[in-house]
A = this chain, B = another copy of it.
Amino acid sequence: MTRTASDLAQHLHAEVEGDPRAPISSLGSPENAGPDSLIYVESEKHRARADASRALCVLAPPGMELTGKTIIRVTSPKLAFAKAAAWFFPRKRVTASVHPTAIVSPKVRISADVVIGPHAIIEDGVSIGSGTEIGAFCFLGRGSSIGADCHLYPRVTLYEGVRLGRGVIIHSGTVVGADGFGYVFGEGRHWKFPQIGRVEIGDDVEIGANTTVDRGSLDATRIGNGVKIDNLVQVAHNVQIGEYSIIAAQTGISGSSVIGSGVVIGGQVGIADHCAIEDGVIVGAQAGIPTGKKIRSGQTVWGTPARPLERFKEQYAWLGRLPEIGRRLRKME
């Protein structure tokens, strides 16, 4: 599908400088772009890459000049690029179909326009909303509920009773609703604490590949609207994650911790049980937050145990000065 610089500018409510009829047929990076690819340049630092690109059409910020390009002038080129992508590549509407090898219980409520891939299994009591695509090998356990316009890539497992909102995307290998990890030791063995709660996932959530989200023990594990979770993340029983929070790969959130809204959590972060991470907190990669700790709204923390970033940096700088301190102390002695 080819559109013009003018079409895109109109969609973005932006101005074109150059040829409004310049065609755009794809999105690219400056290096791999063809003449018809749209590229973006966010800052002066990357201007030369854009200048050297074969792309004719560039999303560029106010004031940036480029040689021989048609510029679509936007205040935030990267955001405009993402919006252009959503416009160029709307979610493919695959023709509604249930693959003959799928095993679908007769006791389900499934909208007429869904896609169910080969070898998928849909158990009793499942409901699936309009326009949703269930990939090959997906397993939807008894009574689970999937909203409209969701996309489950191949090989997603939902245990019994998991609820997904609208527009949820889950990547391959992810497991939602497995038992939480809770035992009570007594009489020489571990007794399993009941893991009979639910999982409730809001609208427009995206979850990466091979991630695990456990069901609540007695209450629910909840993931709010607009949350984005990367690959290989662990979300334990009873965790609550507020709207629009972002969680990078391999992070683990232990039982009953509460994450606020708009929180940004780096990769490989460990959050112990019963923590409270308030709205807007930023947690640096590999940080570790001990049991029951509260991180106040708006803070940026790093390290294990996690502390305010400035303090971490200061302590780290002092660590580097220790040999010198030792020398000075010896000299005085």
A27 touches B328 (CB 8 A): no
Q: Does A192 sit within 8 A of B, measured CB to CB?
A: yes
Of residues 225 to 279 in A, which have CB atoms within 8 Å of B's CB atoms?
226, 228, 230-232, 234, 236, 244, 246, 248-250, 252, 254, 266-268, 270, 272
Report A251 CB to chain B, min CB distance, Å.
9
Report A27 CB to chain B, min CB distance, Å.
5
B304 touches A286 (CB 8 A): yes
B328 touches A325 (CB 8 A): no
Instruction: Pick from B157, B218, B333: contact of A155, CB below 8 A.
Output: B157
Tell me the complex Cα distance, A181–B101, Å.
Answer: 32
Given the known inter-chain contacts A139-B137, A210-B173, A219-B32, please indicate yes or no for A252 contacting B270, CB distance below 8 A.
no
A231 touches B181 (CB 8 A): yes
Tell me the complex Cα distance, A29–B182, Å.
Answer: 15
Tell me the complex Cα distance, A216–B209, Å.
Answer: 15
Report A76 CB to chain B, min CB distance, Å.
6
For residue A288, which residue of chain B has the nearest CB? B286
Q: Does A66 sit within 8 A of B, measured CB to CB?
A: no
Of residues 171 to 222 in A, which have CB atoms within 8 Å of B's CB atoms?
171-173, 175, 178-179, 181, 183-186, 188-194, 196, 204, 206, 208-212, 214, 218-219
By a CB distance below 8 angstroms, the chain B residues around A321 are: 326
A322 touches B318 (CB 8 A): yes
Tell me the complex Cα distance, A89–B192, Å.
Answer: 11
By a CB distance below 8 angstroms, the chain B residues around A212 are: 173, 208-210, 231-232, 249
Report A106 CB to chain B, min CB distance, Å.
15
By a CB distance below 8 angstroms, the chain B residues around A315 are: 319-320, 322
Report A177 CB to chain B, min CB distance, Å.
9
A28 touches B119 (CB 8 A): no
A89 touches B173 (CB 8 A): no
Q: Does A329 sit within 8 A of B, measured CB to CB?
A: yes
Report A282 CB to chain B, min CB distance, Å.
13
Q: Which of A14-22, A77-85, A108-116 contacts B (4 or more CB under 8 A)?
A: A77-85
Q: Does A96 sit within 8 A of B, measured CB to CB?
A: no
Report A57 CB to chain B, min CB distance, Å.
15
Q: Does A98 sit within 8 A of B, measured CB to CB?
A: no
Tell me the complex Cα distance, A234–B254, Å.
Answer: 18
Tell me the complex Cα distance, A42–B206, Å.
Answer: 37
Report A93 CB to chain B, min CB distance, Å.
16
By a CB distance below 8 angstroms, the chain B residues around A228 are: 181, 183, 190
14 extra A-B contacts, CB within 8 A, seeds A82-B194, A83-B186, A101-B101: A27-B218, A32-B218, A79-B185, A82-B191, A85-B194, A141-B154, A155-B157, A175-B209, A178-B208, A214-B231, A252-B268, A270-B286, A286-B286, A328-B329
25 contacts between A and B (CB under 8 A): A76-B186, A82-B184, A101-B101, A119-B137, A141-B154, A155-B157, A157-B172, A171-B175, A172-B175, A173-B175, A173-B212, A185-B244, A189-B244, A212-B231, A212-B249, A230-B234, A254-B285, A267-B272, A270-B285, A285-B288, A285-B290, A303-B304, A318-B323, A325-B326, A332-B333
